[in-house]
């Protein structure tokens, strides 16, 4: 049986999960794939932390070059995360003739074009299934299972931390801060949760999904990104009363010859499958011409879930090596009908809006008058109970409006003397 040697750079939570799977499933994998996958070296800067798997001391190194320059190693798994030194390690490894498996969505989102090009030029591959949705096989499905399809839309709940917080707020009536604290206590949120809460992590994943579906490797600066930190318990509650759930969605939507790419909190109908995705679970809803509407669902985090995706990539690469074939990671064909990216100012959407206004006659007339000047029509309006400060929440659902017009209207409304707090506007999607 052919033996394929693997080097692992990054022996953290997911890395130790990969070693555990390769150890526990060794015989099963050998029978299924017809090769022996052999871990030859494992690199980490600190081996003192307790893991759920042990390593032979002969495998351990603290210098990534021991793996990168080893001529017997065929595949390198990079699981250290971040951009540097991961980029330098992968670049050097590709130049040394190694195939790569990584879960590093931030690196590929920022430097994917350069790294994919280098891999192709060197006749090597970069596989990255674990970079989006952990164990959900979304990358392989888009790359292979749906290869003949043209895509229309992607709607993704792709950050488990944010989804846990919003689910906790909706189901347990707790505040954002209380839900975030619970996420940290459960180990679902990092000490620095900024990338998750601000939507950056979702944007990195959306870049990869957009590349696979539409052949456009967009820059993160091309994506409108809005996080969930400003979502209040009141908005979650009012949305639920109206028949909606608030989710942080990563959206890529083709409209005629334009592509919208954005990440923001979104109201979706409670009857839609995405609305029932709770906790740390992820879901990616894809619309295509041949396969129709598809939903990919599962845990978006977890040691063995992510490690399962890494092992899947590893097995795919072994088959190409075994056969002596170069299997390019991505045969990306750009959608030539897409001429430009649509800016956020130009999108059109329905909106949920909450105003905090004085409880006095004529307030609603002033608000609706401003909206009318910008061609914005109201679908429904509800006045909630008065607060102790004599300020009343006014909740509106408006018909489809252009983003720029709505923002200009809200800017004027927020300056009215009867409005006591900045208005809240959340986009809506029928999905």
In eight-state DSSP terms, residue 74 is -
Place of tokens 């990919």: 296
Total Cβ atoms within 10 A of residue 255 = 14
Structure tokens at 213: 């579906």
Greatest extent of the chain over all pairs of C-alpha atoms, in Å: 83
Structure-block tokens of residue 172: 């347990």
Rounded Cα gap, residues 155 and 382, in angstroms:
29
205, 247, 253, 254: the active-site residue: 205
Burial class of residue 110 in the structure, from the number of CB atoms within 10 Å of its CB (0-12 exposed, 13-18 middle, 19+ buried): middle
CA dist., res. 126 & res. 116, Å (int): 7
What the block records as the tokens of 194 is 């900024």
What SS3 class is residue 317? helix
Q: How far apart are the first and last CA of the chain?
A: 49
Classified as helix, coil or strand, 280 is coil
Count of other CB atoms within 10 angstroms of residue 273: 13
Tokens of 178: 């209380």
253: annotated active-site residue: no
Q: 282 - beta bridge partners?
A: 298
Convert 6-69 into a string of H (helix), E (strand) and C (coil).
EEEECCCHHHHHHHHHHHHCHHHHHHHHCEEEEEEEEECCCCCCCCCCCCCHHHEECCCHHHHC
Which residues are known catalytic residues? 205
């Amino acid at each position: 049986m052919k033996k394929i040697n693997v080097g692992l750079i990054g022996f953290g939570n997911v890395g130790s999960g990969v070693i555990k799977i390769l150890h526990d499933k060794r015989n099963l994998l050998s029978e299924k794939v017809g090769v022996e996958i052999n871990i030859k070296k494992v690199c980490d800067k600190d081996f003192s932390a307790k893991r759920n798997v042990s390593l032979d001391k002969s495998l351990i190194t603290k210098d990534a070059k021991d793996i990168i320059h080893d001529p017997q190693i065929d595949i390198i798994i990079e699981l250290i995360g971040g951009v540097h030194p991961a980029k330098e390690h992968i670049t050097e490894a590709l130049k040394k003739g190694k195939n790569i498996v990584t879960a590093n969505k931030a690196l590929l989102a920022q430097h994917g074009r350069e790294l994919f090009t280098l891999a192709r030029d060197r006749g090597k591959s970069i596989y990255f299934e674990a970079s989006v949705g952990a164990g959900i096989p979304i990358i392989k499905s888009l790359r292979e299972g749906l290869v003949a399809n043209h895509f229309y839309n992607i709607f993704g709940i792709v950050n488990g931390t944010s989804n846990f917080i919003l689910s906790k707020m909706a189901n347990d009536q707790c505040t954002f801060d209380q839900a975030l604290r619970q996420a940290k206590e459960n180990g679902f949120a990092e000490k620095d949760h900024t990338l998750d809460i601000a939507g950056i992590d979702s944007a990195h994943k959306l870049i990869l999904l957009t590349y696979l579906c539409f052949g456009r490797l967009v820059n993160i600066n091309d994506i409108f990104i809005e996080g969930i930190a400003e979502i209040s318990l009141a908005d979650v509650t009012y949305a639920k009363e109206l028949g909606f759930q608030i989710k942080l969605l990563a959206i890529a939507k083709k409209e005629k010859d334009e592509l919208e790419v954005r990440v923001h909190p979104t109201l979706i109908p409670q009857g839609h499958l995405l609305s029932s995705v709770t906790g740390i679970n992820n879901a990616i809803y894809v619309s295509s011409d041949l396969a129709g509407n598809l939903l990919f669902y599962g845990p978006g985090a977890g040691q063995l879930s992510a490690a399962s995706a890494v092992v899947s990539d590893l097995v795919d690469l072994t088959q190409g090596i075994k056969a002596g074939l170069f299997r390019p990671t991505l045969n990306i064909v750009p959608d030539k009908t897409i001429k430009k990216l649509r800016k956020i100012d130009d999108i059109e959407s329905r909106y949920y809006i909450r105003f905090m206004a004085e409880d006095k006659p004529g307030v609603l007339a002033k608000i609706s008058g401003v909206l009318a000047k910008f061609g914005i029509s109201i679908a429904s309006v509800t006045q909630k109970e008065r607060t102790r400060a004599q300020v009343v929440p006014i909740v509106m659902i408006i018909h489809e409006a252009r983003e720029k017009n709505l923002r200009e209207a809200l800017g004027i409304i927020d300056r009215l003397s009867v409005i006591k707090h900045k208005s809240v506007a959340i986009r809506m999607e029928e999905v």
